[in-house]
Amino acid sequence: MTIEGRKVAIVSDQPLSKSTLSKALNELGLVVALNTSPDRVTKEEISDENISAWVIDLADEDRWSDFLDDLLDLATAPLLFGEGEVPAFNSDEFIRWQRRFNKKVTSLLSPSETISIPEIEIPEIPEIKLPNKNAADDSESMVSGMAPEKPRARISLPANITGNWQKGSPAPYVWVLGASLGGPGAVKRFLDVLPEGLPVGFVYAQHIDNNFLPVLHQVLGRHSVFDMRQCGHKRKVGIGEVHIVPVNHQIQSSKSDGIIFVHNRPWQGLYSPNISHVMREFASCYGPDTGAIIFSGMGDDASDGAMAMSDAGAEVWVQRLNTCASASMPEAVIGTGRSSFQGTPEELAEKLVQIIASRHQDALRIDEHGDDVSIDDPIYPF
């Protein structure tokens, strides 16, 4: 698929960056239809379906939080964030930066060809606007995502999920969310529809520039009932929490109790964070009580982790390829033969609620047969 002639938008709060980004995109044969600062972008422009991609470069993300919220809520095209400092057009650093930038833009606008996978029927969720939730947390975060379609209603908590589940208490289920290019918008859609009271926590590994982690944290927490947390040293993942994995520091999960350790050493391999590493850590600790969902992204990170998850008896799912901004990472996971489900972000959320409800029902049946368990124990592992 050729990208020449397609329209892109640039939004930056730095005049020099706007000029450099425009020249780089023009050299790819793209048409820069909008090149402006965040305070001048209208909601009508954000919703313009003729825009094929948004390139965002902000020096002060906190100042433009309202714009970022509107962008994730309203844009119909994929978003590219977190390219670090844009060098001057005639500088020595520009050529190296341009190669990386061109690769990402090309991948964003020419996603991998999708393969045919049988559809699984998911009940339709009514399309209504969710109430706003003010984000407030001290976590690391960022964005490079694909924007949502229309806001969906939050999924109802199944009636059989009972018990004294305390938000923040150790989660009986801890699932890994992995994403790269195009992932944050999809992850936001997934989290936004999950219900309050679902006894699960998440560890979220996102390939992104470290400088943009605070933006990710803010945007993801805006409408979700889940609390965004920094993946901190000697912490456990709690019910109703999303722990965002650091970009520059490797993590480890204790095999005996799931406590997370953050090490002062970089990630090994090509990816930071290394999603496969995170998947292996939680597979070895939680076994079948974990799982992984791989969203839009470049490269083949998560494919090794998918095998470790599957070997531990855990589920591995992926975002449906034709809904990804970049499908290569989910496609690589499918290629391992270990993925058991594919869906839109909302379908993935619905499936997760279904599987937790099903396993909770199994636990109720065990309890009825007189086993020494208590479903009211907030750390009971289904």
Backbone angles phi, psi at 293, to 5 degrees: -125, 120
As a whole number of angstroms, the distance between CA 226 and CA 77 comes to 26
* 173-367 matches 7-109 in CATH topology: yes
Question: For residue 165, what is the DSSP state?
Answer: -
Q: How far apart are the first and last CA of the chain?
A: 47
Give the CATH class of 173-367.
Answer: alpha beta
Q: Which of 192, 207, 289, 310 is catalytic?
A: 207
Is the pLDDT confidence value at 197 over 60? yes
CA-to-CA distance for 68 and 188, rounded, in angstroms?
A: 13
CA nearest to 26, candidates 57, 4, 41, 46: 4
**Which of 88-102, 201-215, 291-305 ranks highest by mean pLDDT?**
291-305
Residue among 22, 180, 272, 310 flagged as catalytic: 180
Catalytic residue (choose from 73, 192, 227, 301): 301
Q: Are 260 and 287 in contact (CB under 8 A)?
A: no
What is this structure's pTM?
Answer: 0.71
d(CA 379, CA 169) in angstroms, rounded, equals 7
Higher pLDDT, 221 or 113: 221
Q: What is the pLDDT of residue 275?
A: 98
| Omega cis (within 30) before 199 | no
Show Cβ contacts of residue 144 under 8 Å, excluding neighbours closer than 6 positions. 79, 80, 81, 82, 180, 181, 182, 183, 184, 206, 207, 208, 212
* pLDDT at res. 73: 67
Give the whole-angstrom CA distance, residue 55 versus residue 207: 17
Annotated domain spans of the chain: 7-109, 173-367
Which one is predicted more confidently, 48 or 144?
48
Q: What is the pLDDT of residues 315-369, one digit of tens each?
A: 999 999 999 988 999 999 999 999 999 999 999 999 999 999 998 776 555 555 5
Residue 360: active-site member: no
**Residue 211 phi, psi (nearest 5):** -65, -20
Strand pairing of 260-262 and 241-244? unpaired
- Ramachandran region, residue 302 (left: φ > 0; alpha: ψ -120 to 50; beta: rest): left
* pLDDT bracket for residue 250 (50, 70, 90): very high
Q: Is the pLDDT of residue 378 over 60?
A: no
Quote the tokens at residue 85: 């400092």
Q: What percent of the chain has pLDDT over 70?
A: 81
Query: Is 301 marked active-site?
Result: yes
Give SS3 for 168. Answer: coil
The stretch 57-71 carries a mean pLDDT of: 82
Q: What is the pLDDT of residue 127?
A: 31
Range 7-109 has CATH code 3.40.50: yes
Distance of alpha carbon 373 from its chain centroid, rounded? 35
What confidence score (pLDDT) does residue 83 get? 65
Residue 69 appears among annotated catalytic residues: no
CB count within 10 Å of CB 268 equals 10
Q: Where are the beta strands (DSSP E) in 180-325?
A: 200-206, 227-230, 241-244, 251-253, 260-262, 290-294, 315-319
Asked whether residue 376 carries a pLDDT value surpassing 80, the answer given is no
Please state, rounded to an integer, the average pLDDT across all residues of the chain. Answer: 82
Q: What is the pLDDT of residue 219?
A: 84
What pLDDT score does 85 carry?
Answer: 78
pLDDT by residue (tens digit) across 87-134?
A: 887 888 888 889 989 988 887 787 543 333 233 232 332 332 333 343
Spell out the residues 6+ positions from residue 33 whose beta carbon is closer than 8 angstroms to its own: 7, 8, 9, 48, 50, 51
Asked if residue 28 lies in contact with residue 84, where contact means CB atoms within 8 angstroms, the answer is no
The full DSSP string for 247-262 is SSS-EEE-TTT--EEE
What is the rounded radius of gyration, in angstroms, for the C-alpha atoms of the chain? 21
* DSSP secondary structure, 322-352, as one string: GG-SS-HHHHHHHHTT---EEE-HHHHHHHH
